[in-house]
Amino acid sequence: MWKKPKEDPSPPDIFNELAEKLKPSTDIMQIPLSIEGRHAFLFYIKTVVDGEKIQNMILKPFFEMRSEEHFESYVNSSPDKVEMPDTEALLISLTKGFVLISIKGQLALLDLKKVNSDTVGETVMESTVHGPQLALSESLETSLNIIRQHYHDPALTVETIELSDKTHRSIAIVYNSNAVNKNVLNEVKKKIKQFDTPLIQSGGDLENLLTNKKYNLFPTTLLTERPDRIVYNLLGGKVAIFVDGSPNAILVPVVFFDYMEAMEDNYHTYWVSFFGTLLGYVGLFSCLLLPSIYVAVTSYTPEILRTELALTVSGSRIGVPYPSYIEILLMLIIMELLTEASIRLPKAISATATTVGGLILGTAATEASLASNIMIIVVAAVAISTFVIPINELSFSIRIIRLILIIFTSLFGLTGLILGFLGIIMHLCNKDSFGEPYLRLFRVGKIEEKKVRNG
Amino acid sequence: MNRFIYYLIATHMITNIVANVPKILLDKNDKGAITSMILGVFVGLLMTYIVIRYFTNSPGKDLPELMKEYMSKWFYYPILFFFSIVWYTAGTITLVTYTFMLDLFLTPEMAILTMVMPFLVIVSLGVLMKTENILHSTEIMLVLFLPLGIFVFTKAYLSKGINWDYVKIAIMHINHLPNYSAFTGSFFMFFGVVNIIVFNKYFVKKLSFGFKHILLVGLLAITVLFTTYFLPIGLGGFDDIDKLLYPWISTTDSIRMKFGIIERLVFLFMLFFITISLSTIVIQWHIAAKLLEKVIYFKRLNWKKNNLTPYLFVIVFSICAGTLTKTVTDYQLFKLSISFYNILPVFFLILFLSMWAVKRGAKS
């Protein structure tokens, strides 16, 4: 360095430049430190940095150290030090909670951010009896920490990408570099770089952007909050994508059966798991087919049932003033409204919704002859079995496809029901998730096949 | 993908248990149906063997591709067009027959066009799928519904309604010379294997097809033909069985399940057959569309990066099938299918000739 000036040095030009750009925010801090001829300057945004860390890691050492050189090498060897980006990126870094230090005209950038959302919540969406009870965190680093702590393997790779949207969030792509499907990984990276939206706030947003088609009914990515599910899938070669600020991870590529797998299934004895899986599928089929079967059987082909049952069904419909498809659509829509209301309502009022809903979907509706008794049972069974599906993304899709199937059945009867169901299967077969087929049986053979084809 | 060839064979056979084949066979019950069936099985197995062995030599290549490589344009264009018509007719006959049958037995009060509509919608959806995905959806349908099929067939064979004496009477009529229509009818059962001419593109691994596999197909064919022919006779008697319009469905309707929620077994049969027939129709129309695509392809017909030619084909297919359903009667349909089965040997002759031509072209 050249000759030291006698008077107190002024902060470097870049500080003023940055302050100019960040004006008139009041939480910008520009602090000169000086004691016995030693000088340093700090620049940070007060509301995003950890004050305690600044105190302990910068201020204290500064005043305790003997010379500026000591302090400089202290700062340079700090584990929180990051490489100095250009001015534009520097501004973004400052808004993320980085601290800019200038010692003897040299600039250093330290990551001292404070995240208040790094608590780890309990699992809400996919709760299990056995298995881990804690979910991910809303802070990206905490979530990554959880995954790393669940999965100790040097092959676990974490790549962080900053989104090019307006909020400059970080996204982490996590995969097992030995097992991962390279095509999928490249496609994911390509897609993420191509994003062109102003705001990505949650895993759900990102999920929609990752999907090719605009009008998509069945999910082709899996949103999960369970660390054990993520680790299980990483091991199987999937790619997990984390968004900062969202307590969920996205898993790609998925197959249909991933949605039908509760993590609980791995934690029980064979037959218990088998029974659990079976219940899941019974739930899937009943919530998809029951309403349509009701329409087909009451309005088109009552003779398909044994005589006693056919009589009971039609007997219970005595007094209902409209055809069965109106009855079922009415009741299903009320049920959907109720489900939707209990998701949206503040927890304090949700008891009201269920009580009122219970009245509508209960005896009152049958006494008013607006629906038959059996109809109420069907709707209740449908409502319950919808919640049996382990991943609720799938059950949301089933809710819609169910209505389409009801319309198809109302138009074409029992044939319509069967063909509509087969149509759904064909649609699922024809889907793909990041180039991987969506619905396939016997996948082991499939892998062999791929090997053969690739030479 | 070895297993898929059996799916192709099996779905086609099962579809025809109820469609026109039993009617044709039972029509000739005292004019050589049994000998025709035996002959049909032998010729069918021979055909299956030749076709599969031929295509195992060029794994991953379909016939249009091979023809394009080794044959002149003037030959293979009309041949592919003819093949496409054959497949379309096969699929359409199945479709219309099933529509009539369901209209008669499941929802009699429904208009015939309303009956055919769901088929056309779902089949069109299926035809537009990728070829590989059709195989996989067929697999899923078979896995989902084959247990049901096995259950209903076991139930049918164990039912008290079967009088085996009638079957014995029928077997007594073995001493007749084969009848041509009955022979082509039972030969048509083996038509499923010819689907390989397009699907071979996805049979990348060399198919192993030897004596064991022939035996498997043979057993399947014998079971299916036995069920097609003798089950209605056992349930409905021998003498007047040829007077029924849909003998197979009419007779199996006599089976009851005493403790089932669904009492009449015939509805379970229908559920099973609708599923299998759907995959058969989808496969056949898909092949028809694929073959036609090789002959007629509108390069300019694009919309949002998708070529609309297959969509156009599907619309034309659907309109033709819908019109046919509206215009023909049951009897005309029966006559049409008999004449279709009767020209099948010509089709096979052309198929084998073109296969031979390709082989010769490949050698020289």
Q: How many C-beta atoms surround the C-beta of residue B259 within 10 A?
A: 7
Q: To 5 degrees, how large is the angle CA A364–CA A369–CA A374?
A: 80
Residue A213 — left, alpha, or beta (φ > 0 → left; ψ -120 to 50 → alpha)? beta
- What is the pLDDT, as a whole number, of residue A443? 60
In tens digits, what is the pLDDT along chain A, a chain of 455 residues? 454 455 567 777 778 888 888 878 888 888 888 888 788 888 888 888 888 888 888 888 888 888 888 888 888 888 888 887 787 788 888 888 888 888 887 888 888 888 777 788 888 778 788 878 888 888 888 889 889 988 888 888 898 888 777 777 888 899 988 888 888 888 888 888 877 777 777 777 788 788 767 788 888 888 888 888 898 888 888 899 988 888 888 988 888 888 888 888 888 889 998 998 999 999 999 999 999 999 999 988 888 888 888 899 888 888 888 889 999 998 899 888 888 888 888 777 777 777 777 777 777 888 888 888 888 889 889 988 988 888 888 988 999 999 999 999 999 989 999 999 999 999 999 888 887 888 887 764 444 444 444 43
Backbone angles phi, psi at A84, to 5 degrees: -80, 120
Comparing CB atoms, the residue among A414, A437, A445 nearest residue B106 is A414
Q: How many C-beta atoms surround the C-beta of residue A455 within 10 A?
A: 4
* B226-246 exposure pattern, b = at least 16 Cβ within 10 A, e = fewer: ebbbbbbbbbbebeebbebeb
Cβ pair A75, A81 in contact under 8 A = yes
Q: What is the pLDDT of residues B275-299, one digit of tens each?
A: 999 999 999 999 999 999 888 887 7
Q: How many C-beta atoms surround the C-beta of residue B269 within 10 A?
A: 24
- C-alpha distances (whole Å) from A450 to each of A438, A444, B205, B207 are 15, 10, 10, 16
Q: How many C-beta atoms surround the C-beta of residue B165 within 10 A?
A: 11
Beta strands A120-122 and A156-162 are unpaired
A315 to chain B, closest Cα gap in Å = 17
B180 to chain A, closest Cα gap in Å = 35
- C-alpha distances (whole Å) from B327 to each of B91, B115, B324 are 17, 14, 5
Backbone angles phi, psi at A122, to 5 degrees: -80, 160
pLDDT at B5 over 90: no
Comparing CB atoms, the residue among A420, A437, A449 nearest residue B205 is A449
Residue B347: CA count within 13 A, CB half-sphere: 22
Using DSSP, state whether A110 is helix, strand or coil: strand
Task: Provide the mean pLDDT of chain B.
Answer: 88
Helices B164-172 & B211-236, crossing angle to 10 degrees? 110
B297 to chain A, closest Cα gap in Å = 23
**Rounded to an integer, what distance in angstroms lies between the CA atom of residue B35 and that of residue B225?**
12
Q: Which two tokens stand for residue A365?
A: 């509706």
Mark yes or no for CB contact B114/A429 under 8 Å. no
- C-alpha distances (whole Å) from A231 to each of A57, A140, A206, A422, B115 are 35, 16, 20, 34, 50
**Rounded to an integer, what distance in angstroms lies between the CA atom of residue A33 and that of residue A19?**
18
Mark yes or no for CB contact A422/B139 under 8 Å. no
Mark yes or no for CB contact B278/A425 under 8 Å. no
Report residue B320's pLDDT band, with 50, 70 and 90 as the boundaries.
very high
Chain A CB contacts of B103 below 8 Å? none
Residues in B whose CB is inside 8 Å of some CB of A read: 1, 3, 102, 106-107, 110, 114-115, 117-119, 121-122, 125-126, 129-130, 133-134, 136-137, 139-141, 143-144, 204-205, 260-264, 267, 271, 274-275, 278, 282
Q: How many C-beta atoms surround the C-beta of residue B175 within 10 A?
A: 8
Q: Amino acid identity, residue A213?
A: K
Q: To 5 degrees, how large is the angle CA A68–CA A70–CA A73?
A: 105
- What is the pLDDT, as a whole number, of residue A453? 41
**Rounded to an integer, what distance in angstroms lies between the CA atom of residue A417 and that of residue B102?**
13
Cβ pair A402, A137 in contact under 8 A = no
Comparing CB atoms, the residue among B1, B107, B260 nearest residue A415 is B107
**Rounded to an integer, what distance in angstroms lies between the CA atom of residue A149 and that of residue A172?**
16
Mark yes or no for CB contact B126/A423 under 8 Å. yes
Cβ pair A123, A226 in contact under 8 A = yes
Which DSSP symbol is given to A26? T
**Rounded to an integer, what distance in angstroms lies between the CA atom of residue A188 and that of residue A434?**
8
Nearest to B51 by CA among B185, B192, B176: B192
**Rounded to an integer, what distance in angstroms lies between the CA atom of residue B155 and that of residue A392?**
39
Give A49's strand partners: A113
- What is the pLDDT, as a whole number, of residue A447? 46
B302 to chain A, closest Cα gap in Å = 18
Q: Which residue has the tokens 């006599």?
A: B254
Residue A139 — left, alpha, or beta (φ > 0 → left; ψ -120 to 50 → alpha)? beta
Comparing CB atoms, the residue among B117, B129, B275 nearest residue A422 is B275
DSSP sequence for B39-105: HHHHHHHHHHHHHHHHHHTSTT--HHHHHHHHS-HHHHHHHHHHHHHHHHHHHHHHHHHHHHHHHHH
Give A160's strand partners: A172
Overall residue count recorded for chain B in this entry: 364
Q: What is the ipTM of this complex?
A: 0.92
Nearest to A137 by CA among A104, A167, A165, A115: A115
Chain A CB contacts of B3 below 8 Å? 445
* B218 vs B3, residue with greater confidence: B218
Tally A–B CB contacts below 8 A: 101
Which three-class secondary structure string do you get for A237-297?
CCEEEEECCCCCEEEECCCHHHHCCCHHHHHCCHHHHHHHHHHHHHHHHHHHHHHHHHHHH
Burial environment of residue A107 by CB neighbours within 10 A (0 to 12, 13 to 18, 19 or more): middle
Cβ pair A328, A406 in contact under 8 A = yes
